[in-house]
């Protein structure tokens, strides 16, 4: 029997023909305030998903290549077109270009490697995912982003992820959408529950925990995952909800963080060091760590804390 992995269930709220805006989730994590320093230039994010609308005006200049590991298009590896919409949506949140139309992604100058591991129905085999991870490793990407999963802990999948991390590749995964809104129950999906990955839960634009987001002790942080506007099929746009939508906010944020950190330290940081840089850029929201991990990714958190520190120091109210 073939072992299956799938898209996490998500909600399509609306489709629209045209928009011109910075999505609220991108603003919420403070990405535009970092763009004066970097927009993710030189970073490559591998998206393991349903493919991509390669002709979308917001994405076509960001995609540098890809490969198809599914049976769509007779299994032609060179055709990684998206027939589902999910992969195109997460791609836009990560890196939709800043072109005065449509939407803008978190890292609008990052490169995207499209690795199609889920078919038009949003379903795939674990073998496809593993092959996709190995391909991303071969291509020496900076970040692997996966908004997919299943309930089965597959050792071969875990080994592939460990291999990626050993090659200094950050792996970001959705926590899953089987949650019940309570931290007293645990919901585990894989690969999101592996310790080596950065597991992303979802919050609404009101900063409240999403009812559907999985809770467990492997959740690292949260990002906006409700009513997220991004690119969609046929050059259009759509609003979707799910931890799938939260994950690309973090993948895009890591592209920005890696550029800033490498410039600051004047060397290539390791995965543990980059993870520390990410967690420094979170703010707690007051929910259980099983639901929010370290809190909301907030790219200007360090600047804010420095400002508060200096203000308190000048006012003579700083207590140590």
Tell me the catalytic residues. 49, 86, 244
Cα dist from 126 to 29, 80, 82, 319, whole Å: 32, 18, 19, 53
Distance CA 194, CA 247 (A): 15
Distance CA 233, CA 84 (A): 8
Count of all residues that appear for the chain in the document? 320
Cα dist from 145 to 93, 161, 169, whole Å: 12, 11, 10
Looking at beta carbons, which pairs linking 204-212 to residues 24 or more positions away fall under 8 Å? Answer: 205/24, 205/25, 205/28, 207/285, 207/296, 209/181, 209/285, 209/287, 209/291, 209/292, 210/179, 210/241, 210/243, 211/179, 211/180, 211/181, 212/9, 212/177, 212/178, 212/179, 212/181, 212/241, 212/242, 212/243
């Amino acid at each position: 029997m073939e072992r299956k992995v799938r898209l996490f269930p998500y909600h399509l709220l609306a489709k629209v023909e045209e928009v011109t805006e910075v999505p609220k989730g991108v603003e919420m994590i403070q990405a535009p305030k970092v763009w004066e320093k970097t927009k993710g230039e030189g970073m490559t994010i591998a998206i393991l998903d349903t493919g991509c609308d390669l002709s979308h005006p917001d994405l076509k200049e960001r995609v540098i290549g890809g490969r198809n590991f599914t049976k769509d298009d007779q299994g032609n590896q060179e055709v990684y077109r998206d027939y589902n919409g999910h992969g195109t949506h997460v791609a836009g949140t990560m890196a939709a270009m800043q072109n005065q139309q449509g939407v803008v992604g978190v890292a609008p100058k990052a490169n995207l490697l499209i690795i199609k591991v889920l078919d038009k129905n949003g379903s795939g085999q674990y073998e496809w995912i593993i092959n996709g991870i190995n391909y991303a490793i071969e291509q020496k990407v900076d970040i692997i982003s996966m908004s997919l999963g299943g309930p089965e802990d597959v050792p071969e999948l875990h080994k592939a992820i460990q291999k990626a991390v050993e090659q200094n590749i950050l792996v970001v995964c959705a926590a899953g959408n089987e949650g019940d809104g309570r931290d007293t129950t645990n919901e585990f999906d894989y690969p999101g529950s592996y310790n080596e990955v950065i597991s992303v839960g979802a919050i609404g634009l009101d900063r409240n925990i999403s009812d559907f987001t999985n809770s467990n002790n492997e959740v690292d942080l949260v990002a906006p995952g409700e009513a997220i506007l991004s690119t969609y099929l046929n050059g259009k746009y759509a609003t979707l909800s799910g931890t799938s939508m939260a994950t690309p906010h973090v993948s895009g944020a890591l592209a920005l963080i890696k550029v800033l950190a490498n410039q600051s330290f004047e060397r290539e940081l390791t995965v543990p060091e980059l993870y520390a840089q990410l967690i420094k850029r979170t703010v707690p929201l007051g929910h259980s760590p099983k639901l929010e991990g370290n809190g909301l990714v907030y790219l200007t958190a360090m600047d804010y804390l420095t400002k508060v520190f200096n203000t308190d120091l000048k006012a003579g109210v700083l207590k140590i």
